[in-house]
Structure 1
């Protein structure tokens, strides 16, 4: 449990730092996620924090919207998930998720915590920041993704398989045999490692 909390805190800190570094005029800039702006990336992360709370009967606390203040919106959503993780009873509550029955803490770890480094890359690329993902997060994500059965990966690549408008992975982007671990991971989940701001 402590490891789940520590990993989430570390990843949330890194994502929050990227949100804080976005210049006001950059929020409408395109991101590597097709159809998403930099603001949309943060909006997705905030929405997914709400998804973590829903199975235990909670919702996001009142806060500024991502449209009004992306940083405040993320900080509030983060605080709500941290409150979940800080309550041993709630964290250990089992809940049904699209991937199976997990404790609330594991659901956070497997979904939103794992998403933070990858969408941090999206936000960094969209806004001209350092897009290096922590090597430990690259390793953990690669181990998780490469262990998935092919049929589940195919489902992840199917738009709408987990709900309207939800696309977990994009089509795989081929990378060279000499690609870095980060680039191999990005290509596997459907990101172009060489994507550049227009």
Structure 2
């Protein structure tokens, strides 16, 4: 699947979750974060990251569904219209914007889909194949991920659990989390 197709699918799945949220102040499996915080994170950090590389994105509305719809569309336009645009000025060096966003952003949408789904009582759209693939890739760079501060300590999950549960544990979440 191309980076553009991958983003289109992950953004649509996340958009379905956004549309199903009824309480934006609901707690999530990310300690101290609400459902709105998950959405704000996914809308704000890519814009700041791209701005640091000289790509300015238009602002998004404040209403959550409109914010996600606008944000997903502006990033999809980058994937569709500028797949070979090389950006520099990032810690990863010069890379095509579509490949870079696919590596660091689309996976974040996938992971945070679990957070938003659980916070809002919806089914998480994580599949075993993608989860196993991500877990295998992330395991090889675990020290860098932990040192970045973006992932907390892993939560021990037995080897007999699903790939989704093992991935969620790897990124520092309790796969058995429920809202209190």
TM-score for the superposition, normalised by structure 1: 0.83
1:187 corresponds to which of 166, 169, 173: 169
Q: Deviations over 1:163-192 (max 9, x none)?
A: xxxxx1111101123111111111111011
Name the SS of the counterpart of 1:192 in structure 2. Answer: coil
Indicate the residue corresponding to 1:75 in structure 2. 69
CA–CA distance in structure 1, aligned partners of residues 35 and 154 of structure 2: 22
Q: Give aligned pairs, total.
A: 180
Q: Which residue does 1:169 correspond to in 2?
A: 151
Q: CA deviation at 1:52?
A: 4.7
State whether residues 146 and 152 of structure 2, in contact with CA within 8 Å, keep that contact through their aligned partners in structure 1: no
2:42 is the counterpart of 1:45? yes
Q: Report how far residue 100 of structure 1 moved.
A: 3.9
Query: Please, which of 114, 123, 126 is the counterpart of residue 107 of structure 2?
Result: 114
Relative distance call for 1:130 and 1:20 in structure 2 (3 A) is same
TM-superposed deviation, 1:197? 0.8
Is 1:139 the counterpart of 2:132? The answer is: yes
Instruction: Note the 1:76-91 alignment, pairs <5 A.
Output: 76-88=70-82, 91=84
Cα distance in 2 for partners of 1:61, 1:180 equals 39
Q: Which residue is 2:145 aligned to?
A: 153
| CA shift for structure 1 position 132 | 4.3
Report the secondary structure of 2:26's partner residue: coil
Question: 1:17 matched to which residue of 2?
Answer: 16
Runs ≥4 residues deviating over 6 A? none
SS in 1 for 2:94: strand
1:105 to 98, 108, 115: 98
Q: Provide the residue aligned with 1:63 in structure 2.
A: 60
Counterpart-to-counterpart distance in 2, 1:8 and 1:186: 20
Structure 2: which 5+ runs fail to align?
none
2: distance between equivalents of 1:129 and 1:102? 36
Rounded Cα–Cα distance in structure 1 between residues aligned with 2:171 and 2:92 = 17
Secondary structure in structure 1 of the residue aligned to 2:88: strand
Contact 2:152/2:171, CA 8 A, preserved across alignment: yes
